Amino acid sequence: MTAAPTIDFAAARRAMIDSQLRTSGVNEPWVLARMNAVAREDFVPGAARSAAYIDRAVPLGDGAMLPAPLVHARMLAEARPTPEDRVLVVDGGIGYLPALLEGLAGSVSTISADDAVKGGKKGDFTLLMIDGAIEALPDGLAKRLADDARVVTGLVEGGVTRLAIGRKAAGRVALLPLTEIGIPRLSAFDTAKAWSF
């Protein structure tokens, strides 16, 4: 019986940056530095470690998915977190996006998708990042944000997922879809389906 080959994860991270991120237009030095500094293989089950750097979502079990590296890189680039930001992350259950934000934002708080849709008390978060694609942003989640807070999320429209950005104004958040990209859907944010004729 031969031993499984040892994977050079540092080399895999460099290859991810050069062949997935740079070629897709992600060239911000600080984004590339964070993507290089945080080991994706630490956020997947042992059996999936060899797939941590592929250019698509990695299934983690129980419906959880680690989005493709390009998704997180584009989210960071659009968010442009600063040391003054108080970030709220709706985590898909893996912790990778909050780890990328550590050291970039002033503070990072994390909640689950299930807790996010339940609402919450008024908050003062200046940046909301949702690690997955949603059909709609609940008012209770918007309530947790300060006025003029920024939002970066995936958005499901007609079965297609897109990266979207938004801002909170007058108590509401409007989202602007930017580009079609494969972002795992967060079913907790699905809207009720209605019959139509």
Does residue 196 belong to any structural domain of this protein?
no
Q: Are 155 and 177 in contact (CB under 8 A)?
A: yes
Amino acid 62: pLDDT: 77
Assign residue 81 a region: left if phi > 0, alpha if psi is -120 to 50, beta otherwise? beta
Does residue 24 belong to any structural domain of this protein?
yes
| pLDDT average per 10 residues of sequence, the chain (197 residues) | 71 95 95 96 89 89 87 97 97 90 95 87 94 92 95 94 95 92 89 61
Q: Are 38 and 12 in contact (CB under 8 A)?
A: no
Residue 187 carries which DSSP code?
G
Smallest Cα–Cα separation from 84: which of 146, 29, 38? 146
Provide the domain limits for residue 165.
Answer: 9-189
Does residue 101 belong to any structural domain of this protein?
yes
Which residues does residue 176 pair with via DSSP β-bridges, in sequence order? 165
What are the Cα distances from residue 14, in Å, to 19, 135, 190? 8, 34, 36
Q: Does an H or E element contain 168, and which?
A: strand 160-169
Amino acid at 128: L
Cα–Cα distance for residue pair 130/38, rounded to 1 Å: 19
Q: What SS3 class is residue 146?
A: strand
Amino acid 2: pLDDT: 52
Does residue 195 belong to any structural domain of this protein?
no
Amino acid 146: pLDDT: 95
Amino acid 7: pLDDT: 86
Does residue 3 belong to any structural domain of this protein?
no
Which residues does residue 168 pair with via DSSP β-bridges, in sequence order? 173
Does residue 170 belong to any structural domain of this protein?
yes
Does residue 125 belong to any structural domain of this protein?
yes
What are the φ and ψ backbone dihedral angles of 94, each rounded to 5 degrees? -120, -25
Does residue 2 belong to any structural domain of this protein?
no
Calculate ∠ Cα 37-100-128, nearest 5°: 165
Q: Provide the domain count of the chain.
A: 1
Amino acid 119: pLDDT: 74
Check which CATH number belongs to the domain holding 45 and give it: 3.40.50.150
Cα–Cα distance for residue pair 136/190, rounded to 1 Å: 7
Angle between helix 29-37 and helix 9-16 axes, rounded to 10 deg: 160
